[in-house]
Amino acid sequence: MPELAEVEVVRRNLVRWWLDSSATDVRILDERVLSDTTPSAIEAALRQDVKELSRRGKYLFAHLADDTVIVFHFRMTGKLVLAGVPEPKYARLSWLVDKSGWIVFKDQRCLGEVRLLGKEEFKEYEPLQKMGPEPEDITVEDLNSTCSKRRMLKSALLDQSVVAGVGNIAISELFWRVKLAPKVRCGELSDEDWESLVQEMPLYFDEVIEKSMGDEIFYQNEAGMENIFRVYGHAGESCPRCGGEIEKMKVAGRVSYYCGSCQG
């Protein structure tokens, strides 16, 4: 599933491919990708110039010349890629930008969505209204005010109303960086733990963005994907910090990877 870093990589790619340009051809290949939006409305929107591309948490926004906004949410397997043809495998929606080629919304499981919002609708868009601060903006005070002491920290960080864009992979990696046990509860963290977590979040995402930059984002379960993470997906291997064994367990309904020797 894409997290903040992967969506930011797509945003930066779209700035190169699409900004200040419009589609000259549109192919709606699977209407299931359109959420509460008609095919004709999406086609008309894509034929406008894009004035800005922004991101909030795991959501991507294309701001158009008439002040409407196209919202992209990738869910589990969605992504936007540049292609030489309009219908590569898993293509759901494609549009041709003359300066770049075909921009394609690919989604193997077809759980992602594309929707068009008016200017006022965008201001009131519920996921944005409920979303917490970005990792670069979060403070210890923010976390302490939204994380009850009895709540598992992992569960709290997966809650997008607490902090935006953090997902399961990031949590395993962040817990390893600050040496937190996978089942730690919010009330068990020291002041130093909270400070370390807040400091590491933006550093972690900056690092993953840098390592992930390319014309296509790849998810951890895709064939041939290089594992760029320190502990996630490395069960049974040696910890890069202490040499202990990387283990995994299910926490808050999702698999966590951790070092049994140096975490907690």
Task: List residues with catalytic annotation.
Answer: 2-3, 58, 254
Asked if 189 and 180 count as a contact pair (C-beta separation under 8 A), the reply is yes
| SS3 track for 29-54 | CCHHHECCCCHHHHHHHHCCCEEEEE
Of residues 133, 94, 73, 97, the one with CA closest to residue 15: 97
Which neighbouring-strand residues pair with 247?
A: 258
Asked if 165 and 135 count as a contact pair (C-beta separation under 8 A), the reply is yes
Which neighbouring-strand residues pair with 258?
A: 247
How far is the C-alpha of 49 from the C-alpha of 41, rounded, in Å? Answer: 15
Asked if 72 and 61 count as a contact pair (C-beta separation under 8 A), the reply is yes
State both tokens at 115. Answer: 């929707």
Which contiguous run of DSSP H or E holds residue 209?
A: helix 191-212
User: Could you tell me the sign of the dihedral formed by the alpha carbons of 77, 48, 24, 216, in that order?
Assistant: negative
Asked if 7 and 60 count as a contact pair (C-beta separation under 8 A), the reply is yes
Which neighbouring-strand residues pair with 250?
A: 255
Q: Return the number of other C-beta atoms located less than 10 Å from residue 141's C-beta.
A: 10
| Three-state SS at 224 | coil
